[in-house]
Amino acid sequence: MPGRRDRNLYLQASPITVGERQAVIEEKISTTR
Protein backbone atom coordinates (compact mmCIF):
# COMPACT_ATOMS: atom_id res chain seq x y z
CA MET A 1 0.00 0.00 0.00
CA PRO A 2 1.95 3.06 -1.17
CA GLY A 3 -0.67 5.37 0.33
CA ARG A 4 -0.09 3.92 3.77
CA ARG A 5 3.68 4.41 3.45
CA ASP A 6 3.19 8.05 2.46
CA ARG A 7 0.92 8.54 5.46
CA ASN A 8 3.53 6.98 7.76
CA LEU A 9 6.21 9.32 6.39
CA TYR A 10 3.87 12.27 6.90
CA LEU A 11 3.20 11.23 10.50
CA GLN A 12 6.94 10.88 11.17
CA ALA A 13 7.70 14.28 9.63
CA SER A 14 4.94 16.12 11.51
CA PRO A 15 4.87 16.60 15.29
CA ILE A 16 1.91 14.71 16.71
CA THR A 17 0.35 14.61 20.15
CA VAL A 18 0.50 11.61 22.45
CA GLY A 19 -3.17 10.89 21.74
CA GLU A 20 -2.61 10.82 17.99
CA ARG A 21 0.47 8.64 18.38
CA GLN A 22 -1.52 6.21 20.55
CA ALA A 23 -4.22 6.06 17.88
CA VAL A 24 -1.61 5.31 15.21
CA ILE A 25 -0.12 2.52 17.34
CA GLU A 26 -3.54 0.98 17.89
CA GLU A 27 -4.25 1.24 14.16
CA LYS A 28 -0.97 -0.52 13.33
CA ILE A 29 -1.81 -3.31 15.79
CA SER A 30 -5.27 -3.77 14.29
CA THR A 31 -3.92 -3.80 10.72
CA THR A 32 -1.15 -6.24 11.64
CA ARG A 33 -3.66 -8.69 13.09
In this prediction, residue 15 carries a pLDDT of 64
pLDDT of residue 18: 74
CA 27-28-33 angle, 5° bins:
100
* 27: containing domain: 2-32
Q: What is the mean pLDDT of each run of 10 residues along the chain (33 residues)?
A: 69 69 86 75
Domain total in the chain: 1
pLDDT at 6: 77
Question: Residue 19: its pLDDT value, please?
Answer: 78
Residue 23 Cα distances to 4, 20, 27, angstroms: 15, 5, 6
pLDDT of residue 29: 86
What does the pLDDT read at residue 28? 87
